[in-house]
Amino acid sequence: MGKKRLAWPDVAKGVSILGVIVLHVCLAVPGGMDTLLARANSVMDPLRMPLFFLVSGFFSAKILDYSLTELFVRRLWFFLVPYAVWVPVEIKLKFIEFKLVFDADSVGADEILWRMLIGANLAWFLWALVLFNLVLWSLRKLPPPVAIAASFAPLLLLPWHDKIPIVGMLILYLPFFVGGLHLRGPISRFAATATSVTRWLPAAMGFFLGVVLVKLFAQVDPDRVALPWILPGMDAIGHYEAALLVRLSRELLSLPLAIVVAVAITHLPHLSNDLQFVGRHTLPMYIGHPIGMTLGYHLVRYALDDAGPQSTTFWLAYAILIALVSGWLFHLLSKVPVLGWTLTPPSLARPQPAVGTEAHAENRDHTFNTAPPTQPGPPNSTISPNSRVISELTIPSPMLDAENRDHAFNTAPPTQPGPPNSTISPNSRVISELTIPSPMLDAENRDHTLATALPNAARTP
């Protein structure tokens, strides 16, 4: 029989998307960030996204054997199609809401394209995964230690992280993605015994040190932070840039505990099964919930004005329900012929030869989302001919591979000036729910504000 499918990666993804939804709901509902729910969710802020990208890299080994063409047709295609189709819908709907609520200007095609290119939208993770896979592929001939060191190279772009959101994401999460692949062995060994005291105690200490680091940095006078910078883009590293480095350090220190938490949850059967189900269907949840919240929460509250319930708890529960139902509807949409291709596009790759041939080996892809169709095993194989999960590195179905388009929202970079003739103020940092706040500060302090931010509002210092 094949090896049992790893549970903790799916649990990690399930925790990530549910945490993202709770964060967005708490930001959307007035007073939501002052609730116990928001404070509890903030504990997971340094764990969710690093673990998400670590798991994504963990199952990306096969792309090292791809040609550039194979990389596009076997992987990037499945990220780019939902990004190209649904991000314009998300942005357009949000600006329709702004037009109704704030009488704001509408958004044009040039600005939508600009936001897509710089990652200033709620599906930025898909664009990040495209870039991360390209970087990982370009580093394929380097020794693992050198490749991991190279994954920190986006730090050279530090001066632009507040102007181009995707730069902040490269700085924060590319090391986890590349490390997830090249440290696969140590990660697997750590996860296998993650709940032992010799694992979780040091992991908890690392998380605690990260918290202390952030608290200490918060006490520093921003005007006194001025570190030398010899490269183009700025004269010195200020408080804003240093905070990004502090956040990266905290997430590196917190990563072991993130793995421990995911593994520990797998020992809680009912909770684990539910989270694994969610984790196997993250793409519809990520794409669907912001669109559903615009239509089912924001516009409903606008229509009700002051006539609706005034309870924060009621609106939190209502908005969470709307977000979950929206994700489920998008999951159903992904199964509809033709329309479902906008989420799970048809494969561009040629049909694969039978298992056991050299050509088939070149076409295998690693994923943790979708078990492949039944494949016969090679001669003398110990794999059951009827086995769908062949190993912890399952072979995905390209038609379903879009479910592996992982993402994350808990840290969002600042809003950027738009393209020429953009209606967005060049000095704006918080523009809308579509604007992703600065990734260098705590998510609870810097994430996108959905309830009160105008499209051209300046961020409060």
Tokens of 131: 């870039």
Alpha-carbon dihedral angle through residues 267, 12, 249, 405, given to the nearest 10 degrees: 160
Mark out the alpha helices in 43-108 (DSSP H runs).
45-58, 68-71, 77-102
Q: What is the DSSP letter of 297?
A: I
In a domain, 417, yes or no: yes
Domain of 208 in residue numbering reads as: 8-372+401-446
Residue 250 identity (one-letter amino acid)? R
Q: How far apart are CA 45 and CA 340, in angstroms?
A: 32
User: Which stretch of DSSP H or E encloses residue 272?
Assistant: helix 269-279
Beta carbons of 227 and 167 less than 8 angstroms apart: no
User: Which stretch of DSSP H or E encloses residue 263?
Assistant: helix 239-265
Total tally of structural domains belonging to the chain: 1
Beta carbons of 104 and 456 less than 8 angstroms apart: yes
In a domain, 388, yes or no: no
Task: Tell me, rounded to whole angstroms, the distance of Cα 80 from its chain centroid.
Answer: 15
Q: How far apart are CA 144 and CA 146, in angstroms?
A: 5
In a domain, 395, yes or no: no
Q: pLDDT digit of tens for each residue in the chain (461 aa)? A: 456 788 999 999 999 999 999 999 999 999 999 999 999 999 888 888 899 999 999 999 999 999 999 999 999 999 999 999 999 999 999 999 998 888 888 889 999 999 999 999 999 999 999 999 999 999 999 999 999 999 999 999 999 998 899 999 999 999 999 999 999 999 999 999 999 999 999 999 999 999 999 999 999 999 999 989 988 889 899 999 999 999 999 999 999 999 999 999 999 999 999 999 999 999 999 999 999 999 999 999 988 887 888 899 999 999 999 999 999 999 999 999 999 999 999 999 776 655 444 434 344 344 334 333 334 444 444 434 343 333 333 333 333 343 343 333 333 333 444 444 444 333 333 333 333 333 333 443 443 433 333 444 333 33
In the chain, % helix, strand, coil (3-state, to 5) comes to 60, 0, 40
Beta carbons of 167 and 135 less than 8 angstroms apart: no
Tokens of 217: 């940095």
Q: Provide the whole-model pTM.
A: 0.76
